[in-house]
Amino acid sequence: MTALRTIIIDDEPDSVNLLKLQLTQHCPQVELVGSYTSSVKALQNIETLGPDLLFLDVEMPVMNGFEILEKILHLNFSIVFVTAYNQFALKAFRFNALDYLVKPIDTNELIEAVAKAEKRIKPTSTQLSMLQKQLRGEAVTKIAIPGTHGVTFIDLNEIVFSEASNNYSKLVLTDGRHFLISKTLKDVQEVLEEEHFLRVHRQYIINLNHVKQFNRNEGILTMSNGQHIPIARNQKEHLIEKYRWL
């Protein structure tokens, strides 16, 4: 097994030192080839070093983590984003199925992230460009679904609804395809709720653009694919508000 050539970029010396320490204690497969507290210096060396894995702090002066990525031409290494606190970025990571760790870093999560990097799973250019787009505040059109062989992107308009099943969620698409993802409906809701989606029931999140009919008396929605979906009583008002139904 070849060593995992790793770089750490974080503007705080303490953070760099702690991560170094955690890696040497818990991840023997990691070979640290560079660590930087200045994003400018890091950028100068990153491509010549050719790492397998990059731990990248999000908030940094002069150039933040995302800006560094924008400037790297050949992005052929795994990335684990690190952040102390940035809800906005966290949401974007989840949406695009990118790996991230929060400070102080939990040892188990670190081990898991490194193990994943060992499988040489690299972020695709679509994933990164979607991330940039989202961080710039542009409208989100796709969601990344991680699978065993990498990431699949699904157009938000293709999703008719999402249904909970235990600790998994099922995405039902317009063409009849189903996707099972290892996330709870709560997680899916968090990702989708700012778009045109609404959780109408404990078990369902629907795409508001795919509603065909609303039976008010029985509280049942008919979706564009013919599927009937029940509405929780307390969500009825919500739905009416969203549609301005009378």
Partner 1 sequence: MQYKSLFIFRVIFFLLVSAEDVPAQYERFLDSLRNDLANTKNDTSRASKLNILSYAALDPKEQLDYAQRALAISEKTGYKKGQGDALNNIGYVYQNEGEIAKAMECFQRAYEINTVIKNQNGIAASLNNVGFIYYHIGDVTKGLDYFQRGLLIMEKIKDIESQLGVGALLNNIAIIHQKQKNYLKAIEYHEKSLKVREEVNDSIGIAATLLNLAGIYKDQGDILKGMQYAKKSLKIITSIGEKEGIASSQAGIGSIYEAEDSLLQALHYYQKALHLDEELGNKKEIAAVLGHLGNILLKQKKFEEAEKYCSRSLQLSKELGFPEYISRSSEWLSQVYKAEGKYKEAYDMQILFKQYSDSTVNTANTKKLTQLQMQYDFNKQADSLKGQEQITGEQLKQQVLLGKQQRQQLQLNQKELDLSNKEKDLQKLAYLKTQADLQNEQLGKKEKEKQLTISEKEKQLQLAKVKALTQEKTLSLLKQQQQWFYILGGLILFGLGSLYFFYRTRLHESRLKTEIAAERLEQHQKEAEFQRQLGDISLSALRSQMNPHFIFNCLNSIKLYTTQNDTLAASEYLTKFSRLIRLVLENSRNDRITLTSELDALRLYMEMETMRFKEKLKYNIAVEKDVDLDYIEIPPLLLQPYVENAIWHGLMQKEEGGRIDITVAMEQNESMLAVNIIDNGIGRARAAELKSKTATKHKSYGMKVTSERLALINQIYKSGANVTIQDLADDKGQPSGTRVTIKIPLV
Query: For binding to partner 1 (CB under 8 A), which residues are involved?
Result: 11-15, 17-18, 21-22, 25, 38, 40, 59, 61-62, 64, 66-67, 70, 84-86, 88-89, 102-105, 132, 135-137
Least distance in Å: CB of 28 to partner 1? 17
Nearer to partner 1 among residue 72 and residue 135 (C-beta):
135
Nearer to partner 1 among residue 59 and residue 190 (C-beta):
59
User: Dihedral (C-alpha) 86, 89, 90, 95: value to the nearest 10 degrees?
Assistant: 160
Least distance in Å: CB of 8 to partner 1? 13
Nearer to partner 1 among residue 65 and residue 146 (C-beta):
65
The strand order across the sheet containing 197-201 reads 178-181, 168-173, 159-165, 204-207, 197-201
Nearer to partner 1 among residue 38 and residue 152 (C-beta):
38
Least distance in Å: CB of 20 to partner 1? 10
Nearer to partner 1 among residue 10 and residue 163 (C-beta):
10
Calpha distance 7→50 (Å, rounded): 9
Least distance in Å: CB of 182 to partner 1? 27
Least distance in Å: CB of 40 to partner 1? 7
Other beta carbons less than 10 A from residue 140's beta carbon: 16
